[in-house]
Amino acid sequence: MTARTSLPSVAQSDSPAPIGGPGTRSVPVAILLSLRPEQWTKNLFVFAGLLFGKQLTDAHAVALSAATFVVFCGLSGAVYIFNDVSDRDADQLHPLKRRRPIASGQVSSATALLAGATIAALSLAGALAISRALGLVAGSYLIMLLSYSAALKHVVIMDVLTIAAGFVLRAVAGAVAVNVPISHWLLVCTTLLALFLALSKRRHELTLLAEGATSHRRILGEYSPYLLDQMISVVTASTLMAYAFYATSSETAAKFGTDRLAWTIPFVLYGIFRYLYLVHQKRGGGSPAAMLLTDGPLLACVGLWAVSVVLLLYSPLGRA
């Protein structure tokens, strides 16, 4: 009983009510916010196939990748809506999530479900219009994430693995859209990085909600900060090693015609260390997308890494 009463107290004291109160936004605006556009940066993973498939100079491939990005913004947004409807009661006890349009009552569950189903259908139609293969990947992504919302998020370890698989399917979709081979390195590095982000998110939830954690998300009762720190340590080391092996391998050098991709390793090191600093010292990690957009050093690191990769793969600098 204590766990259930402590969390609302935190919410009332630490977080303000939604700006203007429930019902002050129009329904279309509230639905748009429920799609969580601030999270759409996660869908940038679809451009990995374009970048590392050396299709960045192909205007048609760029257009296909951009269309795939839009498709996955729609699919992920629809999943967020379905998840918010499912978690409405629990989100009302959360110090931050209670301000979401569905949890705060700005959008009814029936309206949200109708909007989510419509957006999901249009997104799947868009994927099929690009190619059947992309439609299959997009459908698999939607089914898997809906399964996560319905059941898998309550299964220890499977919850974070499913989140990671969502990132992998984004990367696979990007490769399928531009018809480039799906590198095993792409799958390994994406999986490990996504696990790193998912485990950090769990740790943030556990430390933020403290005693009221299980009343919001019961799966948090299966974790502890120590266990998550051990998992994060394993995944952090594995991510760095996998990228280092990829960047320095003879296979990579032969594929891209350069052995200088290793120059980008310092950016990866700094980015991961910066993220760990924000998680442990600044109690961040609840929203990787928000951290990327709001933390200047992290944003600069990712930007410099991307620019460096483009220069090394597409300019004489990589062959000099």
State the Cα–Cα distance between residues 106 and 97, nearest whole angstrom. 13
Residue-wise pLDDT tens digits, 145-188: 999 988 888 899 999 999 999 999 999 999 999 999 888 888 89
* SS3 assignment, position 258: coil
Q: Which of 108, 78, 100, 103 is nearest to 88 (CA)?
A: 103
Residue-wise pLDDT tens digits, 235-282: 999 999 999 999 999 988 988 888 899 999 999 999 999 999 998 887
DSSP conformational letter for 285: -
Residue 23 has pLDDT above 50, yes or no: no
Residue-wise pLDDT tens digits, 29-70: 888 888 889 889 889 999 999 999 989 999 999 999 999 999
Q: Which of 33, 31, 22 is nearest to 117 (CA)?
A: 31
Let me know if domain 24-179 sits in CATH 3.90.1150.10. Answer: no
For the residues 202-214, what does the mean pLDDT come to? 73
In which band, very low, low, confident or very high, does the pLDDT at 8 lie, cut at 50, 70 and 90? Answer: very low
**Can you list the alpha helix ranges (DSSP code H) found in the chain?**
2-14, 27-34, 48-52, 59-86, 88-91, 109-130, 132-150, 158-177, 184-209, 213-216, 225-248, 250-256, 265-281, 288-294, 296-314
Domain boundaries, the chain: 24-179, 183-320
Residue-wise pLDDT tens digits, 76-134: 999 999 988 887 777 776 667 777 888 887 888 888 899 999 999 999 999 999 999 99
Compute the C-alpha angle 43/278/275, nearest 5°: 45
Q: Report pLDDT for 3.
A: 40
Give the per-residue SS3 of 18-43. Answer: CCCCCCCCCHHHHHHHHCCHHHHHHH
DSSP conformational letter for 16: P
For the residues 285-307, what does the mean pLDDT come to? 86
Q: What is the pTM of this model?
A: 0.82
